[in-house]
Amino acid sequence: MKASFSLIPFTTDTAPAIKITGEIERQQNQLTIEYNLQGQAKIIIPQINTPTRKFGLWEHTCCEFFLSLQDSTQYWEFNLCFTGDWNVYHFLNYRQNLVEATAFNSLPFQVLRRNDNLQLKLEVNLNQIIAPEQNLEVGVATVVEDRAKQLSYWALAHSAPEADFHLRDNYLLKL
């Protein structure tokens, strides 16, 4: 199953003039997600370094996606930074019982920079956390830090008065 996405900013007042699109696909239990940022000259992108599992990546430019089992309260949050840093968290319920998902020792993803475009692509096997026959609901989001160090919050949808990527109402993709 494959789906395309286009993210929208929570508010256009502080959002830089960029475009964030991508694709996500699940074949058996192999998940591929690709983010494309157009207009990267307007945002802060740190240099690529040795990939490290880190906490708090959402405090700067960071791609995120959320995988939830259909008809279940548990979900996983994947954080991918253009520096190569990453993390995966598991929640038993909405923003409760946050733990790092130990099923992953690394997330080998690719970052490609071309002119004013930035691409991030991850291929990950989900067998360690999700059975192939389980239906998934997916939320896709990005935090963007502009050159003035202002953060903007981009997602498939924003269903609350404040930006909140964890809300299931924003998990619009089905895989």
Q: Where are the domains of the chain?
A: 2-174
DSSP letters spanning the chain: -EEEEE-EES-SSS--S-EEEEEEEEETTEEEEEEEEE-GGGB--PPP-S--B-S-GGGSSEEEEEEEETT-S-EEEEEE-TTS-EEEEEESBTTBS-EE-TT-S---EEEEEETTEEEEEEEEE-TTTS-TTS-EEEEEEEEEEBTT--EEEEES---SSS--TT-GGG--EE-
pLDDT for position 41? 67
**2-174 domain in CATH 3.90.226.10?**
no
d(Cα 65, Cα 14) in Å, to the nearest integer?
22
pLDDT tens per residue across all 175 residues of the chain: 899 999 999 987 778 889 999 999 999 999 999 999 998 667 777 777 788 999 999 999 999 999 999 989 999 999 999 999 999 999 999 888 889 999 999 998 999 988 888 999 999 999 999 999 999 999 999 999 988 889 999 999 998 988 889 888 999 999 9
| Nearest to 87, CA basis, from 102, 71, 69 | 102
CA nearest neighbour of 29 among 136, 146, 154, 152? 136
pTM: 0.94
Pairing of strands 30-38, 117-125: antiparallel
Q: Measured between alpha carbons, how far is 100 from 72 in angstroms, rounded to an integer?
A: 19
